[in-house]
Amino acid sequence: MGEIIKTIFGATAGPLMLVLGLLVFIYLLNLMNIDPGPIFSVMVALTPIWLPITLFYLTFDRWMYYIQNKFAANQGRSTLRIHLPQNVFKSPEAMESVISQIHNVNSPDNLMQTYLDGKHPLTFSFELVSTGGEVRFYINVPTKKTKNALEAQLYAQYPGIEVVEEDIDYTDEIPWDPERYEYMAFHMGKKEDEIFPIKTYIDFGLDKLPKEEEKFEPMAAMLEQLGKVKPHERVWIQILAVPHVKKVFKNGHLTETPTWDKKAIAKINEILKRDQRPDPDSETYERAPMLTMNERDTIAAIERNIGKYAYEVGIRWLYITEKGKFDGDLISPTLRSFSQYDIIGRNGLSPRWRTDFDYKMFSDPKGRRIKKWKEQELGLYKGRVYYHRDRVGGADAMKVFSAEELATIYHIPGTSVVTPSLPRITSARKEAPSNLPTGLATGI
């Protein structure tokens, strides 16, 4: 009911502004001694044409927001905790396979499914949680169809793993209570254009399956940092991923935008200067551009990634501690743990927004905006929803990551990671349930 009320008020805001604009227009006409009668007679006569079009554009976003939220709510959400096996000898390619298998764009069959049912790609949330220094792996997914498919893929790729659905979401342990807790939120994202990949497990050489003692585990620094969290602290890291699709009217977008592979190919052509090559029949001859080693590696990485399933990704992490025990020294090393995925000259991860100001005495002297942001970020984390805050530059907007990039950031770490705070199953557990479905997650 609350969402309907919000939608109605959001939808009426546009028409109210339109009426206000008309009143200002009439006032200006009177100031210029122009009779508005003939003008409004024409406008009234054309009302059947311009009014429906105007209302459509004014209410479109609010309607899509409401109907898509309703569709998502009907699918349900499940939080799965992953208990790590004692021995993991697989590379992150195993998790890439899992992420690729659950990629489901939920393509609508017709406009009714889009604009009446709200059918659209749903969000997957890959989460790393430290509760007082104990590190846990979670994945929050839509319950219908996706949950069972994800479980089946995890059991298939990681023998000995145990996947348990949580009866109570771990986020329910922390309410919004600024009298008891202090909060801080960060949005992380790619530093450069989304078409440039971050450093992936292939760049680390893990695709060659080196010996366990020779592996460089990309997640090791982050897991070690999470293990240092004090008993009264919590760090929640959330990687929200929505299957990337071409945005067209059929799937709920007024403006058509190409998929990221088109942008990537255009960038490769720009680097190679293909559009500037001379005509073969011309008497002039221009030598092909000499590419640096970094440019060659970048082109190879782009081409490799556009051949894989892609997600639009937003990364958020929260630091929560008891009132009066906020430790600012924890922030910097946690941020630095994301730098494992940086390649200078190509791309990397960095903070794109935070619940703070550089100059609070000017921007938010009473702290009301920051307090509101923190409350909102906690609620959005719990709801597995991501909104970018930088409305001007879009610095923290969701960016496209390939399944390879996602699997590098979030996978089951190998046996080389021996952090005491990372519990593993000490004995053999039961096999995967025999009735779990296998194969691709199908459309809803």
pLDDT digit string, tens, across residues 238-270: 999 999 998 998 888 888 888 899 999 998 888
11 and 60 in a single domain? The answer is yes
Task: Give yes or no for a contact between 66 and 3, defined as CB atoms under 8 angstroms apart.
Answer: yes
394 and 256 in a single domain? The answer is yes
Task: Give yes or no for a contact between 102 and 124, defined as CB atoms under 8 angstroms apart.
Answer: yes
178 and 233 in a single domain? The answer is yes
Nearest-angstrom CA–CA distance, 360 and 284: 61
- Give 162-208 pLDDT, tens digit per residue: 999 999 999 999 999 999 999 999 999 999 999 999 999 999 999 88
Q: Which residues contact 292 (CB under 8 A, 6 or more apart)?
A: none
Task: Give yes or no for a contact between 407 and 96, defined as CB atoms under 8 angstroms apart.
Answer: yes
Find the domain containing 62 and state its range: 1-75
Phi, psi torsion values for 349, nearest 5 degrees: -115, 140
Q: Which of 13, 44, 75 is the last residue of a domain?
A: 75
Residue 85 belongs to some domain of the structure: yes
> Of 38-42, 73-77, 425-429, which range is least confident?
425-429
Nearest-angstrom CA–CA distance, 85 and 415: 9
Q: Give the type of residue at 170.
A: Y
Q: Which of 49, 75, 101 is the last residue of a domain?
A: 75
- Is the pTM for the entire model greater than 0.75? yes
295 vs 76, residue with greater confidence? 76
210 and 350 in a single domain? The answer is yes
62 and 172 in a single domain? The answer is no
Residue 440 belongs to some domain of the structure: no
84 and 40 in a single domain? The answer is no
Torsion, Cα 87 90 95 98, to 10 degrees, reads -90
Residue percentage of the chain with pLDDT more than 70: 88
Nearest-angstrom CA–CA distance, 384 and 125: 7
Residue entry with tokens 């489901």: 104
Nearest-angstrom CA–CA distance, 197 and 195: 6
Nearest-angstrom CA–CA distance, 216 and 207: 12
Query: What is the pLDDT at residue 5?
Result: 46
Torsion, Cα 47 49 54 60, to 10 degrees, reads 130
- In this structure, what token pair is assigned to residue 68? 């898509």
Residue 436 belongs to some domain of the structure: no
27 and 6 in a single domain? The answer is yes
Residue 441 belongs to some domain of the structure: no
pLDDT band at 280 (very low <50, low <70, confident <90, very high): low
Give the 3-state DSSP-derived string for the chain, with helices as H, strands as E and coil as C.
CHHHHHHHHHHHHHHHHHHHHHHHHHHHHHHCCCCCHHHHHHHHHCHHHHHHHHHHHHHHHHHHHHHHHHHHHHHCEEEEEEEECCCCCCCCHHHHHHHHHCCCCCCCCCHHHHHCCCCCCCCEEEEEEEECCEEEEEEEEECCCHHHHHHHHHHHHCCCCEEEECCCCHHHHCCCCCCCEEEEEEEEEECCCCCCCCCCCCCCCHHHCCCHHHCCCCCHHHHHHHCCCCCCEEEEEEEEEEECCCECHHHCCCCCECCHHHHHHHHHHHHHCHHHCCCCCCCCCCCCCCCCHHHHHHHHHHHHHHCCCEEEEEEEEEEEEECCCCCHHHHHHHHHHHHHHCECCCECEEEEEECCCCCHHHHCCCCHHHHHHHHHHHHHHHHCCCCCCCCCCCCCCCEEEEHHHHHHHCCCCCCCCCCCCCCECCCCCCCCCCCCCCCCCCCC
Query: What is the pLDDT at residue 142?
Result: 94
91 and 67 in a single domain? The answer is no
Residue 280 belongs to some domain of the structure: no
Residue 419 belongs to some domain of the structure: no
- Give 13-42 pLDDT, tens digit per residue: 556 776 777 677 777 777 777 777 777 777
Residue 194 belongs to some domain of the structure: yes
Phi, psi torsion values for 272, nearest 5 degrees: -80, -10
Residue percentage of the chain with pLDDT more than 90: 58
199 and 92 in a single domain? The answer is yes
69 and 96 in a single domain? The answer is no
205 and 216 in a single domain? The answer is yes
Q: Which is nearest to 100 in space by CA: 157, 166, 143, 161? A: 157
Residue 429 belongs to some domain of the structure: no
87 vs 164, residue with greater confidence? 164
Q: How many separate domains does the chain show?
A: 2
Q: Which of 75, 98, 129 is the last residue of a domain?
A: 75
- Give 148-157 pLDDT, tens digit per residue: 999 999 999 9
91 and 213 in a single domain? The answer is yes
